[in-house]
Chains A and B, each alone.
Chain A
Amino acid sequence: MAEILTYPDTTLLQISGYVRHFDDPGLKELVDRMIATAKEHNLKALSAIQIGVARRVIVFEKDGEYIPLVNPTIFAHSGEPFISSESDESLPGATIDVKRFPKIKIMYQDMEGNDRFMELDGEDAVLMQRKIDMIFGGMLFDKLNKKELKKFFKEYGFVDACPTYFVKDRILAALRFFLVLHAVALVIALFSDLTRFVIEHGGALFALETAWLLFYAAYARYETKKYKNCTSCQNANIIGTVGLYFVPIALFWLVSSFL
């Protein structure tokens, strides 16, 4: 038996990988552990990620027996989507309204790697849609829009594993505001002496804005080490942002140099 992880444990946000080796004894051990855990907690279905294993495996109780579903995907659905009020053992105490299909068809592999198919409807279909979402890194709250998401986190007192706002975003927002002012001043300076200082001090402004950008990059790197699951935390994103912002900074400096 294993412990069932609960949010905000960020392990739950991982995207599980395919099971590729069916002769791996670890697969059988995993499934046995999942079945024992599901039985212990009286669950009809359990995803491997819920016990901290990022593999595409679900155990599902059907006709009194737990069936391992390896690499499951939903390839067909039918019926009008309806609103389903759902809760999950990995998101204790929360109930979320999500749109689900009443009937689905799934494809999966058995423990020998053979392709299998299953049709599900009613509560089983709803449950399977949620469990398959989980192996793809999706929690119930991922079905909410931005506004609903904020409300959800506030209502249930959850700490968002990946905050919507970072300090680094504020640093960038301030720089953005400064660059807009710089651009406006530069345009005015073309026609009036009122903002001529932006041309006269073009080099200093370039140095200031570049330093600001580098400070952003350094702080972003420091801050994001804490949030591995957030896209905006990644090195490539920081590098891309620095590159994008450097374009207007360099452009303003060039324009000032030629005026």
Chain B
Amino acid sequence: MARIVVLGAGVSGHTAATFAKHWLGDKHEVVVVSPNSKWNWIPSNIWVGVGQMTPEDVTFELAPVYAKAGIDFKQAKAVSIHPEGKEGSDKPFVTIEYTDPNKQGQTEEVEYDYLINATGPKLNFAATPGLGPDEGNSLSVCTYLHAAEANTHLQNAIEKMKKGERQKFLIGTGHGMCTCQGAAFEYIFNIEHELNKAGVRDKADIKWISNEQFLGDFGVAGVHLKWGGHIVSSKVMMESLFTEKGVDWITGAHVKEVQKGKLHYELLDGTEGEEEFDFAMLIPPFSGVGLKAYDKAGNDITDKVFAPNGFMKVDADYTQKPFEEWKASDWPKIYQNPDYNNMYAVGIAFAPPHPISKPAKSVNGTPITPAPPRTGMPSAIIGKTVAKNIVEMIEGQSDKPRHTASMAEMGAACVASTGKGLLDGSAVALTVYPVVPDYDKYPGTGRDPEYTFGEIGLAAHWIKHILHHMFMWKAQLKPGWTLIPE
């Protein structure tokens, strides 16, 4: 009997674990290690952050779902990986520390035949002094609890505005190396929508601040959207949309410090500025969760297994290259660690070879470049592909991974909400192909214009809402879950 251990139960890890178990049945073991007791459909946290959904709407308890599926669930955080085993045993294992209230603090060694690292990111608020809810200066929507807290502050702000007080909202990224600009984009327009509904929009100043080189970059070098009857870059559409909605913006900004009601930033040209605010939701940069790795003798091999940013090295080309030399082939295909071929990393946990957006540094040398997103549809596809490869190897159908899921070869669909409402909601629905531009195959923008497009409208909002229910259904392994695409 083989054992697959999956570290993390986010979109990617949950997909990998559930499909692996579905395909393997009871002949083999699947273990999931996650510090959280609940699964969270993160894209809908935006709606929690504006009070349109509750944390209960976007989460469910993992334990009963895994029990039903026959997956061994350990509510614990992974501490270290020992890919060569230890003295007296060649069996690789991970050390975990329980967060389950009944076993809080207890540690355990969990042996594995195959390891899937799907830990997701550490929300690295500490990268910017004063950033984040713990510091009390800015808010986040990265977790459902953060989003619920953001909503409390939003409702307070609305109350103040109803009493005639003016409020300034600052939404965006809290560091020069952040990703997830799309989530911040969704949040700023959901706030704008809610303020309109509450009849206080005229009392609000709303401003966007981000590390994108241009508005609409979204960390993927921009997307193509329908506007004015034809396709334009998201840059053109976003500028029109922001202007139409009366939302001002700052781009090319590295937030240096956040204080109570004020933040300081540096721009690409090295100039500095500050912005005051009453309400700030700033996405933090991501880093690896801090997993350590040790060899058989107990020597620290963390640097060998993980990239400096803490994400696990996989079959990518990590050679430092200038933008003009970036290739689609730099991106991993099978997500296998180059040194230990029974270790894989999926979703945000794998180390990308370089950004997707054109890199930039300020004249002072500060990197101001969006980090590449590895969330949503691509992360689920990667998780499922890795699970398929492992299952085939366990079942003897193959001696090496056969299926690939390079982000430079896959397309992705994304629906970004710009306001929730059955009749007055709206969202941007878009597809990109490939996710990582392939400048050799598609000279110019690096993307296939036949399959890269999007549109804003009410129908997209309905799709977003339907997708929420579909993915919650799927993740709970309810009837027909395997038929629902990633």
Q: Which residues does chain A contribute within 8 Å of B236, judged by CB atoms?
A: 133, 136-138, 142
The residue among A14, A117, A137, A149 with the most chain B CB atoms within 10 A of its own CB is A137
A17-B243 contact given A105-B267, A142-B236, A236-B450, CB 8 Å threshold: no
Tell me the smallest distance from the CB of A131 to a CB of chain B, in Å.
Answer: 12
Pick out which of these stretches binds chain B: A29-37, A84-92, A155-163, A193-201: A155-163
Complex: A163 Cα to B228 Cα, angstroms: 10
Decide yes or no whether A97 CB sits under 8 A from chain B.
Answer: no
Question: B439-462, CB under 8 A of A: which get 1 and which 0?
Answer: 100011110011101110000000
B324 touches A230 (CB 8 A): no
Complex: A232 Cα to B445 Cα, angstroms: 20
Tell me the smallest distance from the CB of B362 to a CB of chain A, in Å.
Answer: 9
Q: Which residues does chain B contribute within 8 Å of A107, judged by CB atoms?
A: 213, 252, 268-269, 360
Question: B228-249, CB under 8 A of A: which get 1 and which 0?
Answer: 1111110110011001100000
Q: Which residues does chain A contribute within 8 Å of B224, judged by CB atoms?
A: 15, 137, 231
Decide yes or no whether B363 CB sits under 8 A from chain A.
Answer: yes
Interface band, chain A: 35 or more
Decide yes or no whether A128 CB sits under 8 A from chain B.
Answer: no
Q: Which residues does chain B contribute within 8 Å of A192, judged by CB atoms?
A: none
A231 touches B225 (CB 8 A): yes
A76 touches B251 (CB 8 A): yes
Decide yes or no whether B227 CB sits under 8 A from chain A.
Answer: yes
A75's partner among B214, B232, B443, B450 (CB-CB below 8 A) is: B214
Interface band, chain B: 35 or more
Complex: A136 Cα to B363 Cα, angstroms: 25
Q: Which residues does chain B contribute within 8 Å of A145, judged by CB atoms?
A: 244
B232's partner among A21, A76, A113, A138 (CB-CB below 8 A) is: A138
Q: Which residue of B lies closest to A76 (CB)?
A: B267
A149 touches B252 (CB 8 A): no
A71 touches B358 (CB 8 A): yes
Q: Which residues does chain A contribute within 8 Å of B268, judged by CB atoms?
A: 75, 107, 117
Question: A170-214, CB under 8 A of B: which get 1 and which 0?
Answer: 000000000000000000000000000000000000000000000
A15-B231 contact given A22-B324, A236-B451, CB 8 Å threshold: yes
Tell me the smallest distance from the CB of A99 to a CB of chain B, in Å.
Answer: 5
B446 touches A17 (CB 8 A): yes
Decide yes or no whether A257 CB sits under 8 A from chain B.
Answer: no
A117-B213 contact given A142-B236, A162-B230, A231-B454, CB 8 Å threshold: no
A144 touches B228 (CB 8 A): yes
Complex: A167 Cα to B225 Cα, angstroms: 22
Decide yes or no whether B250 CB sits under 8 A from chain A.
Answer: yes
Q: Which residues does chain A contribute within 8 Å of B230, judged by CB atoms?
A: 10, 13, 137, 161-162, 229-231
Within 8 A of A (CB), among B347-405: 358, 360-361, 363
Within 8 A of A (CB), among B48-90: none
Decide yes or no whether A143 CB sits under 8 A from chain B.
Answer: yes
A164-B431 contact given A17-B446, A76-B250, A143-B240, CB 8 Å threshold: no
Complex: A15 Cα to B233 Cα, angstroms: 6
Decide yes or no whether B23 CB sits under 8 A from chain A.
Answer: no
Tell me the smallest distance from the CB of B414 to a CB of chain A, in Å.
Answer: 13
Decide yes or no whether B323 CB sits under 8 A from chain A.
Answer: yes
Complex: A217 Cα to B150 Cα, angstroms: 45
Question: A56-84, CB under 8 A of B: which get 1 and which 0?
Answer: 00000000000000010111100001000
Name 11 interchain pairs, CB-CB below 8 A, sorted by A.
Answer: A14-B444, A15-B233, A16-B445, A17-B446, A20-B324, A107-B213, A115-B360, A138-B228, A141-B228, A161-B229, A230-B230
Given A136-B235, A231-B225, 17 other A-B contacts at CB below 8 A? A15-B232, A16-B444, A17-B443, A18-B323, A21-B324, A55-B444, A75-B251, A75-B252, A76-B252, A105-B269, A113-B324, A136-B222, A136-B232, A137-B233, A142-B240, A229-B230, A230-B230
Using a CB–CB distance below 8 Å, which chain A residues touch chain B? Answer: 10, 13-18, 20-22, 54-55, 71, 73-76, 81, 99, 105, 107, 113, 115, 117, 133, 136-139, 141-145, 149, 160-164, 228-232, 234-237
